Chains A and B, each alone.
Chain A
Amino acid sequence: MRVALPRGRGRAWAVLVIAALGLAGLLASAAQDGLTYWGTPSELLAQGAMDRDVRLGGLVVSGSVAQDATGASFVLTDGATDVTVHYAGALPAAVREGEGAVVEGVLDGQVLHARSVLLRHSNEYRPPEGAP
């Protein structure tokens, strides 16, 4: 399939307009939602229950990860406040206790029903223990 693309100056104008519209879109969305990707357990609990999805970030509490046939749960903490996360499905293999995670879903009291679970990793890079 061939699409007749504008040539020369017409094309440059088209590229300029598309890039400017894209920038305006990014700026508008940043102005509306802010650029903060996730809230801490303390911040989200202080806001109280909301109808819309929230993003919660924190460290996975050691010993809190439980997985069974119906779903998984774990506790996210910011050191001061804990939120229990329920996730209907198998957690990504890489959910590790003590590492960071960002979950998206509906907050219900101290419990968050997660739609998605994303993992953060630190800025530290090391070979495994005992490796050469």
Chain B
Amino acid sequence: MRDNRGHVAAPRGRRALVLAAALSTALALALVLVAPPDAVQGDAQRWMYLHVPAAWSAYLCFAVVLVACLPVALHDAGRPLAVARAAAEAGVVLTAVTLATGSVWGAQTWGSWWVWDARVTTTVAMGLVYVAFLAALTLATGPRGRRTAGTAGVLGFLMVPVVHLSVVWWRTLHQPPTVLAPGTDAPIAPVMAWTLAVSVLACTLLTTVVVLDRARHGAGHDSPLAVADPDEARQRLPVAP
């Protein structure tokens, strides 16, 4: 078997990563509590500090899937896909968190728990694409299946710009982007921007810890020979938080 990419965050690196994740999470929670409410939305706007980091981390996970799948899709069908699987799993969970927090935020500000506008519709589609990718990866036992799954993992990333720019391309109920907006200064008060930045950092670090841990523990089962019983493999994985 090839070298296991999961080992990049070996014990010492992992400890530093966990410490950084814990510290930034504590700081983020403190900032979220002391940040001022929004002039228009009031306290409901605080959902932004969970909704935006979850969405960003989901994008990041799907970028990791893209990078991990590229060699498999292009030439080397035997390369381990444990990192891609772990990142896709985390990305799907984070997409669900994005939809759930967006739903509550929408109930409080829009007046509706759920609308099928372009942002919500494309986000659901993005989640389904990676659910399909994970199923395809589980079903892939030979080189051909793995190449198919890898290609899905590469092409699936096309959903990320579609989701992000959906609020620019189509008229939606969702507002246009604030921070990663094309060509404008972010119309957000500095204290809110800092709170959001620390929240995004904390969520990114927590996601990195979870993805690396799951990739490391799942790696032994990720080879064309070892996926004979994926249920058995799954039972040996730690449960995601």
Contact = CB atoms under 8 A, between A and B. Distances in A.
Given A19-B128, A26-B125, A30-B121, A12 B135 contact: yes
Contacts of A68: none
Nearest to A9: B139
Contact of B175 (A22, A23, A38, A122): A122
Interface stretch (A44-52, A69-77, A105-113, A124-132): A124-132
Contacts of A117: 111
B51 to A, nearest CB: 12
Interface in B92-124: 109-112, 115-118, 121-122, 124
Interface string B33-59: 000111111000100100000000000
A70 to B, nearest CB: 20
Contacts, number: 127
A121 B132 contact: no
Contacts of A66: none
Interface string A14-43: 011001101100110110001111100000
Interface stretch (B1-9, B68-76, B164-172): B164-172
Interface in B13-48: 36-41, 45, 48
Interface stretch (B79-87, B184-192, B199-207, B210-218): B184-192
Nearest to A102: B173
Given A22-B124, A35-B166, A122-B40, 14 more contacts: A15-B132, A16-B132, A19-B131, A23-B125, A27-B125, A38-B173, A116-B111, A119-B111, A120-B110, A122-B175, A123-B175, A124-B187, A127-B37, A127-B191
15 contacts: A8-B229, A9-B138, A12-B230, A19-B129, A19-B135, A26-B125, A27-B125, A35-B118, A35-B169, A36-B171, A57-B171, A92-B111, A118-B111, A122-B187, A125-B189
